[in-house]
Amino acid sequence: MKRIFPILILAAFLAAFLAACTSNPKPADTVATEEGTQADKMEWWRDARFGMFIHWGLYAIPAGEYQGEPTPHNNAEWIMDHMDIPIAEYEKFAGQFNPISFDADQWVSIAKDAGMKYIIITSKHHDGFCLWDSELSDYDVMDATPFKRDILEELAEACDKQGITLGFYHSIMDWHHPQAQSIWEPNYNKGRKDTVGNPEFPLYFENYLKPQVKELMEKYPTRVIWFDGEWIPAYTTEMGKEMYDFITEMDPEMIVNNRVDKGRQGMAGMNANGNFAGDFGTPEQEIPDTGLEGEDWESCMTMNDTWGFKKSDLNWKSDTVLIRNLVDIASKGGNFLLNVGPTAEGLIPAASIERLMVMGNWMKLNGEAIYGTQASPYAKPDWGRYTRKAGKVYVHVFHWPADGKLLVESGEQSFETAHLLDGKEELAMERVTNGMLIDVPAAAPDGIASVLVLE
Ligand code: FHN
């Protein structure tokens, strides 16, 4: 089992050691790397930096509206809870689930063309509905719907064909399974809380949740298990640690998020001090203010305001916000898991595809400054961000200098050359008191984020 705590001791020692060596840590070639299998296991994930989150299930049918009423909250995938839909009523959506436009190859191509390296899809969300042919349940796409195709199998084949890594989001909380259903307070209404938990939850954990995770690992080439719904009182930290060991004893290379255990501090997503299982932290709808030394983490965010498809949600983030979020996250040493919520027909919304195409065009020119990079060696400037690789610092400029002079406050760190990442022309550069002053062209190469490389 991986413990974050020893890594923190190592990180503190390394930070003290580096501080003793220099007031300004040098680019990555001098940053000590963690030894052992954890570094090996996390290598592809750390290099990937950018993935697609897919929230898809029965909730795409109501799409944020039930009996003519819009859901009162953002997250359309919570409609069963937010609109107090009885289980027997919600189950009827399964009989309507027939996404004949679903094309796994197309979905994977959209992710790949956006520059994404991995996909995390909801194998089962809180509503308990399974997107694969599970031996442990008939509440799945093969037995309960007219569609009768194994969605996860088709997606796994498409990912394999296109070289994209596949992972599963799997909800611990389950509103459908009789031994996991929450025992709601009487007369509940909006915002009800599951206070007591189902007394049979340990049986659900042992005889359903663990076996389904094992089934997913045995049936599909998944490399990440992305747990969620760990906050319920019935799920204990002992169960979390047992689940992490269960998974990693079956497959030591499996990457598991920190929501497998109970250490997460709300939407900030990082673990409290102490011994909690999980390989990376999970900030949600937010980006940490700074890098988190010695920690792996991934910010997951929606492109509008909902994870599951919601027909009324047109509050789409701009290309600029999305690309700058990706740069900001990478500059702090994190991964960006950006969500799409496909429709009941099996289509990724056009507004999502449009934004992903713009991100992909930017990544085609600038991906070198994102993939395989580490957190910035310097404090973030007002005008942009930094990322780094061994012997290089990438300068991401959001706000291009009007006077053609760009000050990189690299302290005592000097560089020999400066180039625009998409050009060969060397830029004039001089050392000044607190860093390097670079002569840049009058016009910014990219209106959202222009990248220079210093060596
Ligand atoms: O309740 C879920 C929500 O539906 C969504 O899946 C997000 C994304 O990870 N996680 C939980 C809310 O924190």
Amino acid identity at 68 = G
What pLDDT, on a 0 to 100 scale, did the predictor assign at position 34? 52
Q: Is the pLDDT assigned to residue 36 strictly greater than 70? A: no
**Contact by Cβ (8 Å): 345, 334:** no
CA 304 – ligand 1 centroid, Å:
14
Q: Is any ligand 1 atom within 6 A of the Cβ of residue 303?
A: no
Same domain for 60 and 133, yes or no, is: yes
How confident is the model at residue 32, as a pLDDT?
41
Do 143 and 268 share a structural domain? yes
Judge if 363 and 398 occupy the same domain: no
Which ligand 1 atom sits nearest the alpha carbon of residue 55?
6
Q: Which amino acid is residue 135, in one-letter code? A: E
Is pLDDT larger for residue 335 or for residue 23? 335
Return the sign of the alpha-carbon dihedral for residues 157, 99, 97, 171.
positive
Whether 409 and 285 share a structural domain: no
State yes or no: pLDDT of 1 exceeds 80: no
Asked if residue 232 has its Cβ within 6 Å of ligand 1, the reply is no
pLDDT at 217 over 80: yes
pTM flag (> 0.75): yes
CB-ligand 1 contact for 230 (6 Å cutoff): no
CB atoms within 10 A of CB 428: 9
User: How far does the centroid of ligand 1 lie from the alpha carbon of residue 308, in Å?
Assistant: 10
- The confidence score (pLDDT) of residue 422 equals 80
The domain that holds 412 is classified in CATH as 2.60.40.1180
- Does any domain span residue 197? yes
Residue of 174, 284, 339 with the most ligand 1 atoms within 8 Å of its CB, for mutation: 284
Residue 309 is part of a domain; what is its CATH number? Answer: 3.20.20.80
Flag whether 22 is in a domain.
Answer: no
Give the residue with greater pLDDT, 16 vs 443: 443
Do residues 198 and 248 share a domain? yes
Mean pLDDT, rounded, for 121-146: 98
Whether residues 294 and 429 fall in one domain: no
Task: Read off the pLDDT band of 198 (50, 70, 90).
Answer: confident
- The stretch 261-273 carries a mean pLDDT of 95
Q: Do 445 and 317 share a domain, yes or no?
A: no
pLDDT digits (tens, 9 = 90+) for 154-172: 999 999 999 999 999 999 9
Domain check: are 233 and 348 in the same one?
yes
| Ligand 1 binding pocket includes 307 (Cβ within 6 Å) | yes
Nearest to 124 by CA among 111, 139, 135: 139
Instruction: Please give the mean pLDDT across all residues of the chain.
Output: 91
* CA of 300 relative to ligand 1 center, distance in Å: 9
Residue 127 has pLDDT above 50, yes or no: yes
Distance CA 88, CA 94 (A): 11
- Please report the pLDDT score of residue 195 as a whole number: 60
Q: Does ligand 1 come within 6 angstroms of the Cβ of 77? A: yes
3-state secondary structure the chain: CCCHHHHHHHHHHHHHHHHHHCCCCCCHHHCCCCCCHHHHHHHHHHHHCEEEEECCCHHHCCCCEECCEECCCCCHHHHHHHCCCCHHHHHHHHHHCCCCCCCHHHHHHHHHHCCCCEEEEEEECCCCCECCCCCCCCCECCCCCCCCCCHHHHHHHHHHHHCCEEEEEEECCCCCCCCCCCCCCCCCCCCCCCCCCCCCHHHHHHHHHHHHHHHHHHHCCCCEEEEECCCCCCCCHHHHHHHHHHHHHHCCCCEEEHHHCCCECHHHCCECCCCCCCCEECCECCCCCCCCCCCCEEEEECCCCCCCCCCCCCCCCCHHHHHHHHHHHHHCCCEEEEEECCCCCCCCCHHHHHHHHHHHHHHHHHHHHCCCCECCCCCCCCCEEEEEECCEEEEEECCCCCCCEEEECCCCCCCCCEEECCCCCECCEEEECCEEEEECCCCCCCCCCEEEEEC
The total number of structural domains in the chain stands at 2
- Quick one: pLDDT band at residue 183, thresholds 50, 70, 90? low
Give the residue, out of 52, 56, 75, 298, with the most ligand 1 atoms within 8 A of its beta carbon, to mutate for a pocket test.
Answer: 75
pLDDT at 12 over 70: no
Q: Give the domain-ending residue among 335, 369, 403.
A: 369
Average pLDDT over residues 325-345: 98
Q: pLDDT for 290-301, tens place per residue?
A: 999 999 999 999
Contact 127, 57 (CB under 8 A): yes
378 in any annotated domain? no
Predicted confidence band at 423 (pLDDT cuts at 50, 70, 90)?
Answer: confident
How many whole angstroms from 228 Cα to the centroid of ligand 1? 7
Residue 2 lies in a domain: no
Do 254 and 195 share a structural domain?
Answer: yes
Question: What percentage of the chain reaches a pLDDT higher than 90?
Answer: 84
**Poorest-confidence range of 64-78, 180-194, 274-288?**
180-194
Residue 155 located in a structural domain: yes
- What confidence category does residue 269 fall into, taking pLDDT thresholds of 50, 70 and 90? very high
Within a domain: 221: yes
Proportion of the chain above pLDDT 70, given as a percent: 89
- Least confidently predicted of 5-19, 190-204, 360-374, 378-392: 5-19
d(CA 357, CA 131): 27
Q: Is residue 202 part of a domain?
A: yes
Domain that holds residue 192: 40-369
pLDDT of residue 193: 56
Q: Name the pLDDT band for 425 (thresholds 50, 70, 90).
A: confident
Residue 6 has pLDDT above 70, yes or no: no
Q: Would you state the pLDDT for residue 72?
A: 87
Q: Give the atom of ligand 1 at the shortest distance from the alpha carbon of 307.
A: 5
Tokens of 374: 């580490």
Q: In this model, does residue 61 exceed pLDDT 90?
A: yes
389 and 317 within one domain: no
One domain, residues 209 and 315? yes
What was the pLDDT predicted at 241?
98
353 and 414 assigned to the same domain? no
* Residue 337: burial class (beta carbons within 10 Å; 0-12, 13-18, 19+): buried
Looking at 4-18, 65-79, 130-144, which range is the least confident one?
Answer: 4-18
Last residue of a domain, one of 320, 342, 369: 369
The two structure tokens encoding residue 150: 């194994």
Tokens of 155: 């997606």
Output the six-digit token pair for 433: 């008191």
Work out the average pLDDT over 396-419: 96
In a domain, 19, yes or no: no
Q: Give the whole-angstrom CA distance, residue 18 versus residue 356.
A: 39
The reported pLDDT for the residue numbered 29 is 39
Report the pLDDT value the prediction gives residue 26, as an integer from 0 to 100: 33
